[in-house]
Structure 1
Amino acid sequence: MDTPTHSERPFDELVREAEEADVSGWDFGWYAGRATEQRPSWGYQRLLAERLGQATAALDLQTGGGEVLAGALRLAERRPALSAATEGYPPNVLKATELLHPLGTAVVAAPDEPPFPFADGGFDLVTSRHPVRPYFGEIARVLAPGGMYFAQHVGPASVFELVEYFLGPLPEEVRRGRHPDDERAEAEAAGLAVADLRLERLRMEFFDIGAVVHFLRKVVWMVPGFTVEKYLPQLRALDEQIRAEGPFVAHSTRFLIEARKR
């Protein structure tokens, strides 16, 4: 007898499993066979490894569980003499410490918001993957003259097919949030010269309702205040839709930004 796919399992079982699963860190291995996301063509981790290999003092902001930075440090031809990372979510601080300390990187438990707990001009490389918000004034402050900010940001209206399924249509100013043109202007106003800016729209597929629940628990800013109880009717309807029509399709947006301190 064939093992049933996730989408063939009962709704309550899928939801219970997703509610009990760990959502700390940025390891997405839980989604194997349950959801997919197209990756940007530029390969952020590989490019990050190249820049780490050229840096003397590097800082990674909002590092999550440290998974991306750890992978890049392992790929780098050499590691910076000084390497630090910040994270504000306590469960992620623990995960990041376990991953990054053996690679010579200090993890600083610090809120995402300014001020950063570092002196002016202390780093020649500042990086971040998917920061909730990039504080360009602080980034410029902790960069040495000629230092580089290199990051992959979430772009405008990312995964909004899923967000608007639960919240309804959102106003245009919300949909435009995180637009790369706006962040370029903010970076330049802070004293950074943008050398590279690339935007891509990427396909995502959710194959069962458990993947949706886990995703909304993990990426908490997508549907603020999300709970299964609060959105139970919508979840049941979406479960029926996936079973009848196939995967729920959404699109993430990502942009690469590289900017040098003047």
Structure 2
Amino acid sequence: MPTFEQLVAEGESVPTDGWDFSWFAGRATEQRPGWGYAALLADRMSRASAAADLQTGGGEVVATAPRVPRQFATETWPPNAALACRRLPGALVVQVAEHSPLPFRTASLDLVTSRHPTYTPWPEITRVLRPGGTVLTQQIGHGTNRELSEFFLGPLPPPRSTVYDRRRTLGDLDVHTLTEATCRVEFFDVAAVIHFLRKVIWTVPDFTVARHHDRLRAMHDHITEHGSFLSHSRRVLVEARKPLSTAP
């Protein structure tokens, strides 16, 4: 069985590019929401003629769906944008700063998608959608992996209502689906915890192995005693449509 030091070294060495979580196989698990985002994405993409996937990461999720005649993707981090260009041949991948306007013409898209964005530009999405166009997104809910965050940071304020917060930000879009799920997340060794915290950086802001060495040792001892560390993610499914134009 690997020692604590060996697991720490492994967790620090794994590349964090992209949103491919296959490295975690056998080391961590995350329950999926019952709505099946990948199947919903495939269905909506199969009926679209012009679509954009926002904060696509390395294009891992949208690459599993049918291609559309005019396909676009945006990404904020250059290494991920390079991965997406290779993974999505035929699509135009654009590197865009997180809070910048979307690089698409007004009313030019009939589908906008995004899985686990760190920021959702709802007014910009409304602008680029055609009347009757759809936005489909699976979002990270408030309080996701709270147990993991509190293990390193101590007690945190109670999470606010994610569904209420999302509904308030949707503006003029007509809500079709707005629902939330709580899912089990289980880590089976401290290397998986380290890699996750290096990859999903908002879980423990400013995480480093050196800064959090004592808590990592405590995490290793907890997993050794109990077999795993249990946390929970919160996921929110949003599907909304831009109203049809009522102009004469």
Task: Sort the TM-score into its range (normalised by shorter chain).
Answer: over 0.9
| Residue type of the alignment partner of 1:146 | G
| Residue type of the alignment partner of 2:201 | V
| Residue type of the alignment partner of 2:220 | D
TM-score (norm 2): 0.95
TM-score (norm 1): 0.90
Q: Could you tell me whether the CA contact under 8 Å between 1:61 and 1:126 is conserved in 2?
A: yes
Q: What is the CA distance between 1:80 and its match in structure 2?
A: 1.8
Q: What is the CA distance between 1:137 and its match in structure 2?
A: 0.6
Q: What is the CA distance between 1:156 and its match in structure 2?
A: 1.7
Alignment partner, residue 243 of structure 1:
224
Alignment partner, residue 52 of structure 1:
45
Q: What is the CA distance between 1:180 and its match in structure 2?
A: 1.8
Q: What is the CA distance between 1:134 and its match in structure 2?
A: 1.1
Q: What is the CA distance between 1:234 and its match in structure 2?
A: 0.4
User: Which string of whole-angstrom CA distances, capped at 9 and with x for unpartnered residues, describes residues 13-58 of structure 1?
Assistant: 1111111111111111101110000011111111101100111110
Between the aligned partners of 2:47 and 2:26, the Cα distance in structure 1 is: 37
Q: How many residues align?
A: 243
CA RMSD of aligned residues (A): 1.0
The within-5 A match list for 1:1-262 is 8-73=1-66, 79-101=67-89, 104-172=90-158, 175-176=159-160, 179-187=162-170, 189=171, 191-262=172-243
The DSSP-based 3-state class of the residue aligned with 2:208 is: coil
The DSSP-based 3-state class of the residue aligned with 1:185 is: helix
User: Which string of whole-angstrom CA distances, capped at 9 and with x for unpartnered residues, describes residues 203-232 of structure 1?
Assistant: 011000000000000001111111000000
| Residue type of the alignment partner of 1:63 | T
User: Which string of whole-angstrom CA distances, capped at 9 and with x for unpartnered residues, describes residues 42-77 of structure 1?
Assistant: 11111101100111110100000100000113xxxx
The DSSP-based 3-state class of the residue aligned with 1:96 is: helix
Between the aligned partners of 1:170 and 1:61, the Cα distance in structure 2 is: 30
User: Which string of whole-angstrom CA distances, capped at 9 and with x for unpartnered residues, describes residues 168-215 of structure 1?
Assistant: 11123xx227x122111210x2x1010111211000110000000000
Between the aligned partners of 1:167 and 1:226, the Cα distance in structure 2 is: 10
Tell which deviates more after alignment, 204-213 or 116-125. 116-125
Q: Could you tell me whether the CA contact under 8 Å between 1:150 and 1:257 is conserved in 2?
A: yes
Between the aligned partners of 1:123 and 1:169, the Cα distance in structure 2 is: 43
Determine which structure has the larger helix proportion and give its number.
1
| Residue type of the alignment partner of 2:207 | F
Between the aligned partners of 1:146 and 1:12, the Cα distance in structure 2 is: 55
Q: Could you tell me whether the CA contact under 8 Å between 1:64 and 1:92 is conserved in 2?
A: yes
- Give the fraction of aligned pairs with identical amino acids, expressed as a percent: 50
- Ranges in structure 1 where 5+ consecutive residues have no aligned partner: 1-7, 74-78
| Residue type of the alignment partner of 2:38 | Q
Between the aligned partners of 1:139 and 1:120, the Cα distance in structure 2 is: 9
Q: What is the CA distance between 1:114 and its match in structure 2?
A: 2.9
- Ranges in structure 2 where 5+ consecutive residues have no aligned partner: 244-248
Q: Which stretches of structure 1, 4 residues or longer, exceed 6 Å deviation after superposition?
A: none
Between the aligned partners of 1:252 and 1:43, the Cα distance in structure 2 is: 15
